[in-house]
Amino acid sequence: MPTAGEAMGGFPASSTATIDVFHLPSGVEPAEYATYDVATAQGARQLRYPVLNGPAITALARRLTEVRARRLAAMSVNDILDVLARAAELWTDPDFELRRHAELLIPAITGYQSDMVRIELKRYMRQFRRRELLRFLDAEIGQPAMLDGFRPNKAGGYSRYVGPRLTYQVFSSNVPGIPVWSMVMTLLVKGAILGKSSFSEPVMPAFFARSIAMIDPELADAIAVVPWKGGSQELEDPAIDAADAVIVYGSSTTTKLIAGKVAGAKPCLGYGAKIGLAFIGREALRPDTYADTVHRAAVDIATYDQQSCLAPQTIFVETGGALAPREVAQLLGGELEGQQRKYPRAVLSDAENMAIQRARTNTEMQALMGGSDAVIASRNGTAWTVLYRELEADAGAEDAGLAAAAATGLGAAETLTSLLSPLNRTINVVAVPDLMDAVGQLANCRGWLQSCGVAVDSSRLFGLADALAQVGVDRVCPLGEMDRAKSGWHHDGGFNLIDLLRAVDIERGSDTYSDSFDLDME
């Protein structure tokens, strides 16, 4: 079994290799390790991780904070950016060893199709190239140099930004690579990282830390990533206590539980479950556009089986196009069948399959009761499902959107439920006379909405986006790119760096007053 030090340099060549799915600062040697086996396309692999206790977490947090003070805090933000960009660039090489092992392990652990993982992972890691990080820093922080020291501000004084010494981060497992975003943002504000990864996907955060170590081993010593079982208070409580900020990805239950343990003055950024939507205008359903439109929708649904909070659960389709919404639903089924052949969906649990079957049955019952509902579904099993219904609105109403919400007679809970799907390539398709009718339905769902993929003419884009913003949507993007948020996006409408920072000001006149104590000054 390799030591932690040996694991930093690579992996044994044996087909029964033990692979470390953790990262610790150099010199830190846990007293105990545990392993679990994964069956990959190239044979069995044994994954190893350290078994820690409360005192070990406290000691580890202290070590990370010391490294941060010695190395990370002393680096310029530009030098940190260079290290991160060079580490990310390694992942663009198909022969990079860590990438090859990630492409082997992640499909085996998560069940996602291997080609999908390979394509999406490379696309995702390209967000962290130097030019993307520079654009992001400049957009969110007007003067990135304020992370390094005091700089003149517009008020006539001086300001600088101070980041957390240590962040405790809880990583989710639903979409591979997401922890990398949080890690990069934290390091850019000169914060050390104590990361709890998930046994359902421990690979990417550990491997990304290891790729940083290949570029700058001392900087990588400010990072620790270790998997442990969620809800382990013995480990979680000292981690929260030691950190200056907490970042949590996971279910709404998880984020609320951890947020409740964080002291009021300590930043706690929680990213829980959200609902993604799509809006297809009649102009996107012309004879020359509908094929691409439907294909793009299918890509958004199939990518990572809708497990991302960015993915659509409901698509609103406008009537009046060359293709009727019901025809869109039927064509979408054909596109999802094509996606299934190209990127087979992960194998589901019995509970997940039953949830999809229940959704199909409920829709079929609505159809039998005289509704316009319909089910278009894969013939064998639950590989994909399109649940179709129609929304009627009062066309003579002064505000068609609000009229639509009133006409449904739905309260907040019912409206929210109508937008949800069982995921795993199950999509609601709702026909609407006008896209603004759909916006009216969303008024009761504020706080749950996030991303919207849109396919509308540019003359309508900003009006639709304004209306969506009013009901709580915080991201509008092209249909077909819902799972591919661009570097610098405002996750859940917040800021990626500013929310972790504390501003310190030297007020106007302070320097002049200080000059008065110079004996050479008159």
Give the pLDDT confidence score for residue 92 in this predicted structure: 93
Question: For position 466, what pLDDT does the model report?
Answer: 97
Q: What string of pLDDT tens digits covers the 522 residues of the chain?
A: 333 333 334 444 444 589 999 999 999 999 999 999 999 999 999 999 999 999 999 999 999 999 999 999 999 999 999 999 999 999 999 999 999 999 999 999 999 999 999 999 999 999 999 999 998 888 888 899 999 999 999 999 999 999 999 999 999 888 898 899 999 999 999 999 999 999 999 999 999 999 999 999 999 999 999 999 988 999 999 999 999 999 999 888 888 889 889 987 889 998 888 899 999 999 999 999 999 999 999 999 999 999 999 999 999 999 999 999 999 999 999 999 999 999 999 999 999 999 999 999 999 999 999 888 999 999 989 999 999 999 865 433 333 333 344 334 445 677 778 899 999 999 999 999 999 999 988 988 888 899 999 999 999 999 999 999 999 999 999 999 999 888 777 877 778 888 899 999 999 989 888 988 888 765
CA R_g for the chain = 25
pTM for the model: 0.88
Query: Which domains are assigned to the chain?
Result: 4-273 (3.40.605.10), 275-488 (3.40.309.10)
C-beta of residue 214 within 8 angstroms of C-beta of residue 90 = yes
Count of positions (residues) in the chain:
522
Please name which of 248, 303, 261 lies closest in space to residue 278, comparing C-alpha atoms: 303
Please list the helix, strand and coil fractions of the chain in percent, rounded to the nearest 5, in that order.
45, 20, 35
Give the max Cα distance, the chain.
94
Return the closest-CA partner of residue 102 out of 132, 131, 75, 124.
Answer: 124
Q: What's the rounded Cα separation, in Å, for the pair 219 and 188?
A: 12
State residue 392's pLDDT score: 66
Say if residue 26 is exposed, middle or buried (CB neighbours under 10 Å; 0-12, 13-18, 19+): middle
Spatial neighbors of 277 by CB under 8 A, at least 6 apart, are 312, 313, 314, 315, 316, 419, 442, 449, 451, 452, 453, 473
**Residue 395 pairs with which residues in a beta bridge?**
none
Cα separation values, 359 from 328, 336, 347, 420, Å: 20, 18, 18, 10
pLDDT of residue 16: 57
Q: How far apart are CA 130 and CA 118, in angstroms?
A: 22
- Looking at residue 46, its pLDDT comes to 95
Which two structure tokens, joined as six digits, stand for 457? Answer: 């003419």
Residue 66 confidence (pLDDT): 97
Q: What are the distances in angstroms from CA 346 to CA 9, 19, 267, 298, 331? A: 32, 24, 36, 16, 23
